[in-house]
Every structure is written in structure tokens, then in C-alpha cells.
Chains A and B, each alone.
Chain A
């Protein structure tokens, strides 16, 4: 069986779960697709998941309300063993990429990490992934009775919710969490989630100040219905929350259009947005590296061009 571990937040199934279903189908691996939903109070999520697969396993346990890598790894490993899963798909979120190596070690399985394609090659499983700060696409291969895969979000087309899968409750033997969480800061945004937005407007230090960021970057994003992104420098300066950061240590985005305002374009930033379909850069520094990857570059002052963009977009 192919086991997919559902990703969800705030009582909703994440798009990445439907993306993993597509990856599982494209993998050419045999057997039914089963989705495992872990958490507390996850009835609605399990119902959503049952539209995507023949079978949904539900581990609804109060102690799973707080994510812990060791607990998650134990739960997934137990279900993979009981169901004799040969392929385990886990989302390439921060948490997914954190507990998946533990699952691989427990099952003595290879791990194909953060994959963007998946196919069978004889008895082996072959995947593509980005390396060298997303400058290279590597093809990796593993051949083993059990293989663990993490799937990069935002790459595979989400499967349509058209199934009517059966739900089964599972009993889990869980270890005690190892890490005590003593404080939490959850960053919320009322806009489209960055990873799901068709258009992302990102601001760098070149926008000048937190106030300018709000006026220009948020203003443009709102006028064209986009998500808001920020560079590492802007987040480090405390202008914007970490949840908006795009790049090696932030989120990876691949929107239809990426509009970079006052962004210089360090390699670490490019690795998070370089695969966007259409890149626009507005920067007064004509030498900024961002122009090398841009489809359209405007060398000019963001303080003049962006207000004009906002005004014209609103008047349309």
C-alpha cells in the first residue's frame, strides 16, 4: 500500500495532501492509496481526506494536538508496518521534513527528500529534486522494500476530491513527547496563503521602511489580489513576520507571477522563488542580480512606480 500522511491546519486539509495523492498516482507504485490523518478533533479533515483516497485511517488522539517529531514518527511508522506500506509520502513542510528522516531510520528505508517528480524505474523509485540552492535539478533513485518520500509543496497538481473512501479509526501506541513547547507565536494573515497565491508581491530592504512596506507591498498585493512576501533582510530587521519570508530559510513559492520590489536578489532568495513562472523586478539599482532572473525589469524608484501600479490596478 501507498501511505500518505495528511497535512492540515486550522481544521482544514492542506492543498499539499491532494498534491501528494497526484504524486502517489504518478509514482507507478502498486497498491491502494491510503491517507493517514493524525491530530486531535480531526473529523472534518478526515471527511475531506476521504474524498481523495479509497481508504482513510484516522488517528484522533488528544495528545496529538501538539506536533512533536518523535511522536509523529512513531505513529507513522506503526501504521506503515501494520499496513505493510512500501511507499510512504509525507509533505515537504517544515514538520514533514523534520519527522520523515526518523520514519526512514525506524523502517531502515531510504528517504527521497523534497521531490518534484516521482516515477518507477523497474523496481526502483526515481525522483527529481532541486539541489545547490535550487540551481540544479538532480535525479535520485532508491531501490528498497520500503521507501519514504517527502513531496515538495506547490509542484504537483492537486487531485480532485471525487472519491468516497472508507474511514477507519486506528489505535496508536505513542511515546511521550520529548520537546516541551514553552511559548508559541503563530503568524496569521488575512490574505491568500503565500504558498497558494497566484501572484506574490515581495518587498526587500529597497522599499525603505516598514511604513513603506505596508503602503507599497501590501498595497500592491491587495490591489491585484496577491500574497505578500518578504526577504530575509526585511524579516531580520523586524519589519515583517517570519511567515512572509521567501528563500532558503523561509518559504518556497512558485506563483504564476512574482513581483519583487526593492529586492536585490541574493542566491538564497532566488532559491525560494526562482521557479516562478513570470518574474517582475522593480529596483532602482540597475546592477541588482534580481534583474538577471527577471522576465520584466523596471529600473526605477518603487516610491513612484508602485503607487502608479496600485492606482491603475484599482481603477481598472
Chain B
């Protein structure tokens, strides 16, 4: 068997468009998940008992079931109840809720890592609640969590390949289409793997630079 990459290079522009779609899905789901996680972690740390239970149930459900099953439910089970989500909607909602659960846990760990002494000091200095969050809590938590958050983002970038199953034409979907037409599976999937490696390297580089500039944090870098 001979590998002929020349035969599959013509798919490259199409694959790169797919890669951009993968990147956008990961970015949107991560950003929204980060917000959900912030609310969830705040409730779990400072909220009333009932709300804490609710958040705990949400986190348990989404971290103990496969993401594939979650999106499958949104895409194929909800129409039975009259809710018809488009492929992109189902994938985005599924990945966002899933990310929200993991990011709740990650951020809760960050809240717990905050020494009480720092909050006491802020209180002694007469900081308002907002000032305390801004100058004491936020910088500490962001520094502590940056590596975990970067890691989660990279996991999500690769996780977008699941969207192919639900009809979103991202990178994996386009690779599968090309594979069905040309049968050059090894060339196509190795090219796809290289693009995914490229995506995560780009993501890592952005996170690393952003972390260094904004928070003086050393994030994971290749």
C-alpha cells in the first residue's frame, strides 16, 4: 500500500474551514461554560442549602454521563417533547452545559484555595465587597486556576469532533465526508490529526500569552 498525500491535499482548504468551525464551537461553549461555572461555584461556596443541592445535582449529572449521550438526548430526545434543536444548537447547548459542570468544579476548587486571611485583611482595610472581589479574590483565583482552565479548553477543542455525529460540518465531519468519497483514510485522518494538533498548539499559545500578559501566570505550553 502506498500513501499518496497529493491526492488528499485538495481537501485542505475545506478542512481548514472545518477547523475554524471547531474552534468557534469550543470558544463559545467554553466562554458560556465559564459563566455557568462562576455562578455554580459561587452558589456552592456561598449559596443557601437548597441551591447548593441543585448545583451539586447538575454537576453530578453532567460529569457522570458521557457527553455524547448528553448531546444525543438534546438532539434526538427533545423533539419527542416538541423541542427541535438544530445540530449546532444541540452541540453548543450540550457542550456548554457539560463544560459548565466541569468548570463549576474547577472554580469551586479555586474558591476553596483562597486563604481566609486575605479576606480578613481586605475587611480590616475597609474594602467594600466589590473591591474585595476585584483586588483580592479574582486575581488569586485566576492565578490558581489558569492551568486547569487551559487544560479544559484544550479538551473541549478536541471534544468538538463529537459534533460530526449530529450533522455539524466541522473538521471531523469534513474528514469523514472526504474519506467516504476517496477511501484514502490514512492520508485523510493523519492530515486531520495534524490540523487538530495545530489547533491545540494555537490555543495553548494564545492562552499562554494571555496568561502571561494579563495575570502573569505561566500556563501550560508545548
Same complex origin of A and B: no
